């Protein structure tokens, strides 16, 4: 950990404040969190809500629903942008110099011409910033102008007060449905087309009979073309009053309650909104009613918390009668919603419904739809808006758009300060020397001082004037063209990134986009990457890959190009046959009435030929979140054989036993879950609605194997299997819930269709949890299954173990009594329920295990492995639970094969404080790190020497021996820290915890933060960024990643399936995580090397010019006169020397891109900041000083001969100064060329242009006749080009000036070559060399060994670095002391969710409620060794 010095000088403190000044603090006022609020429905605001003037008090005025991520408005653009630009010290200096020259005493040319370069720089930068922000405004507009249905009409009015909307930078377009009809014919036609589209969108949610399908669509009102057109929808049964349907609205139509299409930014607190399936939630909404049975709604929360599984939400029981606009608009329905103040906690909401009679109904987070989530698998939801805009949880967890500056730009400020200090010293020296000389020679009657007797021109004041003139003379020491050149180069670099086809994603047609053009060089210095998991590393989809049943492993059929596994619907002959039986049974009354869909699909519009009963469906639709079907012809044959053998009496015992395992395994998969079954009204196929993609994959696989779950009717579950001819019925008696502590889920079911009515316990969970509850015996099956689990886990698959047991009736009756008593206990209810569940979940019988692949984004493991090899540390911050995060860590190579996982969990369950857990981890795994010896940390450790310490240093209790991992802490792979959200809350609470967390984390190769909120993600980024002073990059794809992206130095958004929230707030937008590798290793490396070298060369070339001017001061009495003719100085940065450095910034390549991709270790040169630092800057400054001295003194003394002219006249100033100018331009041009690693066509052209330009200008400028305009160098060509001293001076000065640089580069490349030198040399002599082979042999270290050898290459194989593989390492939970060998278990389920509550409540009827080969390479490298020996 980089510890900063506690004592700083006042100057350093002042500079730190200046460098870290954030302009946004002046323009973005963080709105304070308001007090608890009351939302009034059908009632006026209380009198105490108004002030004396009759206005609503500020604390009772709610923020608008308008959310703006842009930086500027039309008012703040100019002052804010100027402040941002004048954070550059150089701009302040240029402004001061320009103002100085507005005074006639110091004027050299026109004052307007002087300030013009600064205005150009400021203007171009402002245009670039404005363009970037316009793009942000356009993205904001897409969100703020999204459409939602809001209650309107009738006697409804919303009395809750709202703030006014903010004005934006660019004029917002009018929503299409509000466009008037007064435009020309083309516009009217466009509006009609738009209206048709919107009409179809609205018809999607309109009930039958509410709209006239044959009504004409029009955008013109009967009241005239100037009136506003509104989209209106009715959902009651009354006839439509408007003859034009819902899109032809008359004046009197607004009297009826209806749903009006409204933009998101116009939503108010207290509004009732209607949201349809697959629509995003516009604000934080309290659910009143839904289209589903039991008023359940499903939402996708991956934008909010990163989890892919659907979450179930339920309506507030006190408001479920509000199912239509008419019901809500009833003025007699008065109530108030008392809410807590806006809170960042995503998992907490405290509110209550208060009726006029004083009765209250509680409201919690399970009844809320939060902004940023998407409604799924639910036809419609009606709710009341409680929080809008800045008060919503998603926005509270994000921040204002920061004004980011690159590290290179920050590092330039000290260098500019250094040059300014040199400039000040030069000016002071000139002023003092001039004053002393004038005061000495004036009394002696010096002719050049004749007339210096005025108040503004005398020896006493001229020293000060000379000082000011010196500032103007030497002002180019800080080149103004540097900044405009950097802006230009970065803009072109953004285009290089955009047009890189290697980062183009053809599936979406998206290129990589640089949204912030000034951070390209930061991409080359990244040290820490913070990544989201869901949607960033994974595809949010599962694939059922393999399974083990009764000791036999089934690994699925190999994938083929003609596979039908991913078909959306699949017709199964068995399903058809089963459906026919079920239909006949239904006709005869044997199977009961048709089971309505538990997801409310029966409310949809019926389709001809389609059935809505899941029992009658003949097709199974591929579930959402499942990529492909499971196929295994061996397993299918075994199932068919087992089904046939059940009817045969001569089946052998082994076949019979495996038949029972097959039946029990797939029956457990088909019955033990919370999935809902319904019929897709479009296709008529059976579809599953799951909260978790894990469950969807399992139930889908069971259906693929013939065990089809066909829905449940409260406590009755319907399933078809190959072992029976009809639909089997099971009575669901109890659900033993899944929790992170239990790591298992069980159901107790009774089979209704057999005479015995057997009771079964079906269980699924983690392997170690299931194994320790198995019945004694059958060790062989257990051992085989363990081997299969290890094999599945080694392939990166997520495993789940299944078991079952029969339950005697009397045992169950006694247990059920105890279970019911525990469920109604008022004290320690959870503990009592868990204890009773433990009683039943014993003596289980092993069935087998499943292996599911959490499909990663393409190339993610390889990209992470390469980024780690590049020396970048990767942290993953996710909202998923701990097991999921660890499983993804293994499959993505973040956790290697030999790595150990150290877990820090919140101490709430175990009582062990988080600080104590971290101390224990350091003491056990990093005893020699010196962390515990740190005075600040040691002060908190309780010991004999420090009895007042707050935390005792405890070794971890290893726990149960059977699940302890072997050699934990001694594995060669290193450590990965895993910390959950509750522990992170405590660890970020104060500086004491932060320091220890940071010290512990830096000892680990990676860190995984799970169950974290969006705000915690940002806090973790800031902890590392500020605590270590490192360059950070954050990457994500959802709204929950916005705060993290904004907090990092560089933010990257993935424009995936989660919308544009992350992209809108990012600096770079990519389509896939794997593109991040090329973005950093190639474009980041190139950009940083180009920009760093360009800047130091820029400073260098100006030092050459200023140095020549400075040396001339010795011979001009320190009078600040120019040695050059003024135009040579004026065009120095704009014409003579600009193109080579621009070419360096655009075309230079340290090495080619395929080399950088093949050898990620080369990124370390960029990451360590080798291309731009103070040492490099000083070296280039010394180079410039030396070259200026060689040019000036060699030519000056060369021209000290009697005269170089043939006419005998003495040498004029411009005779030798023009030679100096030409020599300086050629030296600078060639010097920059020497520093360019790759000479491309663009480089050749740029260098040639500069040399030709200076020669052509000199020749043409010297022949301009005075009759055209007067020049001081007329005829100079006659004396210049005919002089031997001119040619001799150029011949000697150019090689002498370049000699030190060329000699040093040659010596270094021959005797002390860097990795880049070796790679460049290899690539030069063998352009087709495959560096991937070198990487397999050891990478850069291999090249070092080979090239440094003097006796050829020894023929021995070099061990390739071990590839990071999936999960065989151990992990230690510091909260419990449990050390386990991870076998890949993971399962996602919402704990204490609505789905489980619903299952438990449905059981109320019978129970109490519950819950090229080596030879050529040798020859090549041998020749390299011989070459080096020759050079030595």
User: Who's near 1425: CB < 8 A, 6+ residues apart?
Assistant: 1346, 1347, 1349, 1350, 1351, 1352, 1353
Angstrom distances, CA of residue 1394 to CA of 294, 350, 402, 1013, 1151: 10, 17, 39, 21, 57
Residue of 975, 959, 957, 879 lying closest to 917 (CA atoms): 957
Looking only at the bridges linking them, the beta strands covering 1050-1054 and 1032-1036 are parallel
Q: What is the CA radius of gyration of the chain?
A: 38
* Structure-block tokens of residue 1176: 């490099």
User: Who's near 1234: CB < 8 A, 6+ residues apart?
Assistant: 1298, 1301, 1302, 1305
Return the exposure string of 1351-1375: e unless at least 16 CB atoms fall within 10 Å of the residue's CB, then b.
eebeeeeeeeeeebbbbbbbbbbbb
1378, β-bridge pairs? 1373
User: Who's near 586: CB < 8 A, 6+ residues apart?
Assistant: 592, 593, 594, 615, 616
Q: What is the 3-state secondary structure (H, E, C) of 1111-1147?
A: HHHCCCCCCCCCCCCHHHHHCHHHHHCHHHHHHHHHH
**Three-class SS of residue 935?**
helix
Return the exposure string of 1064-1098: e unless at least 16 CB atoms fall within 10 Å of the residue's CB, then b.
bbbbbbbbbbbbbbbbbbbbbbbbbbbbbbbbbbb
Residue 24 burial (CB < 10 Å; 0-12/13-18/19+)? Answer: middle
User: Who's near 179: CB < 8 A, 6+ residues apart?
Assistant: 187, 191, 194, 219, 229
* Structure-block tokens of residue 1181: 């400054």
Residue of 686, 665, 682 lying closest to 620 (CA atoms): 686
Residue of 1078, 1205, 1030, 1124 lying closest to 529 (CA atoms): 1030
**What does the alpha-carbon distance between residue 506 and residue 980 come to, in Å, rounded to a whole number?**
37
Known catalytic residue: 532? yes
Strand ranges across the sheet with 360-363: 37-41, 335-339, 351-354, 360-363
Q: How far is CA 355 from the centre of its chain?
A: 45
Cα four-point dihedral sign 285, 286, 290, 293:
positive
Which residue has tokens 């009015």?
157
Return the exposure string of 986-1025: e unless at least 16 CB atoms fall within 10 Å of the residue's CB, then b.
bbbeeeebbbbbbbbbbbbbbbbbbbbbbbbbbbbbbbbb
* Catalytic residue selected from 133, 140, 521, 532: 532
**What does the alpha-carbon distance between residue 606 and residue 600 come to, in Å, rounded to a whole number?**
13
In this structure, what are the phi and psi dihedrals at residue 620, rounded to the nearest 5 degrees?
-120, 120
Contact 617, 579 (CB under 8 A): yes
Interhelix angle 1213-1235/1174-1198, rounded to 10 degrees, is: 150
Residue of 1119, 1127, 1122, 1118 lying closest to 1108 (CA atoms): 1122
Q: In this structure, what DSSP letter does residue 688 have?
A: E
Q: In this structure, what DSSP letter does residue 1314 have?
A: -
For the chain, the first-to-last Cα distance in angstroms comes to 42
In this structure, what are the phi and psi dihedrals at residue 1380, rounded to the nearest 5 degrees?
-130, 155
User: Who's near 1156: CB < 8 A, 6+ residues apart?
Assistant: 1081, 1082, 1085, 1162, 1163
* Structure-block tokens of residue 104: 């006639």
- Catalytic residue list: 532
């Amino acid at each position: 950990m980089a510890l900063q010095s506690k004592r700083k000088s006042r100057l350093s403190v002042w500079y730190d404040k200046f460098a870290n000044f954030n302009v946004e603090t002046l323009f973005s006022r963080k709105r304070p969190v308001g007090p608890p609020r009351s939302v009034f429905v059908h009632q006026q605001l209380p009198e105490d809500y108004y002030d004396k003037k009759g206005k609503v008090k500020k604390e009772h005025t709610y923020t608008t629903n308008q959310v703006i991520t842009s930086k500027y408005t039309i008012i703040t653009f100019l002052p804010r942008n100027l402040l941002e630009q004048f954070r550059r010290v150089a701009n302040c200096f240029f402004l001061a110099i320009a103002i100085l020259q507005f005074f006639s005493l110091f004027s050299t040319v026109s004052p307007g011409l002087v300030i013009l370069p600064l205005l150009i720089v400021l203007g171009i930068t402002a245009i670039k910033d404005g363009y970037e922000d316009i793009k942000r405004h356009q993205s904001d507009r897409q969100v703020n102008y999204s459409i939602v249905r809001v209650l309107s009409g009738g006697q409804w009015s919303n009395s809750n007060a709202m703030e006014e909307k903010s004005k934006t930078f660019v004029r917002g377009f009018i929503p299409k449905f509000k466009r008037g009809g007064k435009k020309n014919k083309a516009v009217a036609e466009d509006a009609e087309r738009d209206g048709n589209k919107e009409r179809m969108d609205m018809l999607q949610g309109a009930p039958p009979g509410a709209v006239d399908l044959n009504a004409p669509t029009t955008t013109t009102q009967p009241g005239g073309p100037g009136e506003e057109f509104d989209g209106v929808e009715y959902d009651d049964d009354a006839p439509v009053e408007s003859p034009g349907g819902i899109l032809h609205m008359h004046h009197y139509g607004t009297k009826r309650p209806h749903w009006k299409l409204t933009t998101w930014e116009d939503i108010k607190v207290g509004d009732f909104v209607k949201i349809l399936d697959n629509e995003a939630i516009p604000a934080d909404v309290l659910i009143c009613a839904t289209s589903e049975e039991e008023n359940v709604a499903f939402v996708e929360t991956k934008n909010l918390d990163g989890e892919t599984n659907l979450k179930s939400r339920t309506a507030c029981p006190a408001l479920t009668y509000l199912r239509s606009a008419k019901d809500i608009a009833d003025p007699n329905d008065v109530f108030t919603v008392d809410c807590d103040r806006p809170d960042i906690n995503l998992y907490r909401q405290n509110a209550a419904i208060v009726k006029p009679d004083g009765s209250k109904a509680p409201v919690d987070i399970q009844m809320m739809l939060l902004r940023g989530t998407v409604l799924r698998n639910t036809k419609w939801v009606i709710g009341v808006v409680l929080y809008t805009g800045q008060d919503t949880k998603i926005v509270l967890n994000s921040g204002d758009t920061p004004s980011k500056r690159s590290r290179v730009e920050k590092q330039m400020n000290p260098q500019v300060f250094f040059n300014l200090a040199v400039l000040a010293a030069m000016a002071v020296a000139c002023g003092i020397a001039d004053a002393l000389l004038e005061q000495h020679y004036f009394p002696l009657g010096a002719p050049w001082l004749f007339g210096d007797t005025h108040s503004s021109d005398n020896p006493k004041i001229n020293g000060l004037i000379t000082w000011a003139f010196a500032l103007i003379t030497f002002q180019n020491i800080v080149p103004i063209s540097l900044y405009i050149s950097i802006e230009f180069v970065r803009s072109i670099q953004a285009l290089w990134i955009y047009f890189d086809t290697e980062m183009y994603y053809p599936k979406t047609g998206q290129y990589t986009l640089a949204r912030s053009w000034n951070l390209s060089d930061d991409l080359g210095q990244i040290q820490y990457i913070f990544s989201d998991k869901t949607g960033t590393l994974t595809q949010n989809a599962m694939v059922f890959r393999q399974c083990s049943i009764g000791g036999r492993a089934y690994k699925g059929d190999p994938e083929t190009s003609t596979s039908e596994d991913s078909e959306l619907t699949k017709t199964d002959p068995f399903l058809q046959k089963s459906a026919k039986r079920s239909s006949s049974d239904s006709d005869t009354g044997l199977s009961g009435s048709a089971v309505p869909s538990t997801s409310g699909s029966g409310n949809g519009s019926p389709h001809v030929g389609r059935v809505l009963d899941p029992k009658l469906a003949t097709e199974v639709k591929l579930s959402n979140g499942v990529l492909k079907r499971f196929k295994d012809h061996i397993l299918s044959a075994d199932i068919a054989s087992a089904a046939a053998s059940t009817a045969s009496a001569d089946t052998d015992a082994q076949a019979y036993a495996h038949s029972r395992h097959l039946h029990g395994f797939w029956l457990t998969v088909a019955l033990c879950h919370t999935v809902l079954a319904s019929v897709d009204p479009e296709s008529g196929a059976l579809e599953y609605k799951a909260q978790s993609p894990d469950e969807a994959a399992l139930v889908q696989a069971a259906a693929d194997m013939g065990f089809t779950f066909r829905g449940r009717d409260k406590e009755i579950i319907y399933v078809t299997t190959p072992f029976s001819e009809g639909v089997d019925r099971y009575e669901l008696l109890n659900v033993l819930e899944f929790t992170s502590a239990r790591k298992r889920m069980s159901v107790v079911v009774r089979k209704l269709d057999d005479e015995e009515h057997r009771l079964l316990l079906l269980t699924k969970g983690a392997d170690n949890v299931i194994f320790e509850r198995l019945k004694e015996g059958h060790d062989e099956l257990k051992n085989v299954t363990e081997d299969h689990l290890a094999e599945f886990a080694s392939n990166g698959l997520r495993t789940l173990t299944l078991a079952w047991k029969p339950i005697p009736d009397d045992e169950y009756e006694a247990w059920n009594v105890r279970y019911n008593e525990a469920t109604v206990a008022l004290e320690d209810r959870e503990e009592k329920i868990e204890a009773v569940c433990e009683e039943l979940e014993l003596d289980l019988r092993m069935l087998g295990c499943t292996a599911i692949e959490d499909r990663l984004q393409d190339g993610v493991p390889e990209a992470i492995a390469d980024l780690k090899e590049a020396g970048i540390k990767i942290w993953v911050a996710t909202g998923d639970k701990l097991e999921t995060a660890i499983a993804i860590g293994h499959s993505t190579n973040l956790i290697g094969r030999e790595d150990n996982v150290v877990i820090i969990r919140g101490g709430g369950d175990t009582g062990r404080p988080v600080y104590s857990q971290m101390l224990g981890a350091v003491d056990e795994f990093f005893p020699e790190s010196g962390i515990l010896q740190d005075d600040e940390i040691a002060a908190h450790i309780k010991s004999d020497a420090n009895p007042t310490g707050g935390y005792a240093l405890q070794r971890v209790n290893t726990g149960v021996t059977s699940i302890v991992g072997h050699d934990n802490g001694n594995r060669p792979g290193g450590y990965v820290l895993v910390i959950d959200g509750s522990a992170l809350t405590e660890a970020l609470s104060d500086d004491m915890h932060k320091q220890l967390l940071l010290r512990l984390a830096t000892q680990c190769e990676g860190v995984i933060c799970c169950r974290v909120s969006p705000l915690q993600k940002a806090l973790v980024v800031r902890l590392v960024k500020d605590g270590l002073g490192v360059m950070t990059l954050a990457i994500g794809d959802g709204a929950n990643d916005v705060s993290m992206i904004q907090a990092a130095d560089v933010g990257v958004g993935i424009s995936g399936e989660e919308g544009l929230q992350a992209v809108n707030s990012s600096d770079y937008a990519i389509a896939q995580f794997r593109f991040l590798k090329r973005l950093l290793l190639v474009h980041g490396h190139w950009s940083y090397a180009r920009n760093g070298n360009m800047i130091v060369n820029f400073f260098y070339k100006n030092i050459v010019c200023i140095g020549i001017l400075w040396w001339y001061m010795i011979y001009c009495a320190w009078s600040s006169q120019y040695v050059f003719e003024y135009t040579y100085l004026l065009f120095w940065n704009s014409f003579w020397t600009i193109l080579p450095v621009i070419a360096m910034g655009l075309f230079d390549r340290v090495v080619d891109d395929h080399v950088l991709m093949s050898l990620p270790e080369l990124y370390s040169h960029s990451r360590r900041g080798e291309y731009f630092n103070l040492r490099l800057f000083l070296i280039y400054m010394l180079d410039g000083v030396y070259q200026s001295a060689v040019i000036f003194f060699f030519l000056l003394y060369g021209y000290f001969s009697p005269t170089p002219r043939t006419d005998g006249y003495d040498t004029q100033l411009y005779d030798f100064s023009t030679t100096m100018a030409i020599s300086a331009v050629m030296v600078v041009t060639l010097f920059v060329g020497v520093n360019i690693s790759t000479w491309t066509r663009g480089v050749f052209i740029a260098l040639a242009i500069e040399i030709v330009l200076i020669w052509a200008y000199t020749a043409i400028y010297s022949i301009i006749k005075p009759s055209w305009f007067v020049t001081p160098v007329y005829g100079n060509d006659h004396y210049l080009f005919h002089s031997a001293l001119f040619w001799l001076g150029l011949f000697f000065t150019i090689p002498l000036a370049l000699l030190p640089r060329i000699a040093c580069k040659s010596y270094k490349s021959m005797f002390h070559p860097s990795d880049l030198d070796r790679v460049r040399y290899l690539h030069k002599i063998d352009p087709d060399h495959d560096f991937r082979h070198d990487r397999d042999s050891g990478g850069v270290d291999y090249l070092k060994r080979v090239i440094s050898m003097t006796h050829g290459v020894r023929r021995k194989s070099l061990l390739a670095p071990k590839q990071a593989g999936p999960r065989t390492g151990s992990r230690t939970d510091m909260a419990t002391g449990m050390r386990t060998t991870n076998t890949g278990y993971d399962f996602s389920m919402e704990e204490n969710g609505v789905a489980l509550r619903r299952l438990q409540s449905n059981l109320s009827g019978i129970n109490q409620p519950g819950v090229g080969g080596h030879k050529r390479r040798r020859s090549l490298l041998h020749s390299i060794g011989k070459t080096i020996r020759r050079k030595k």
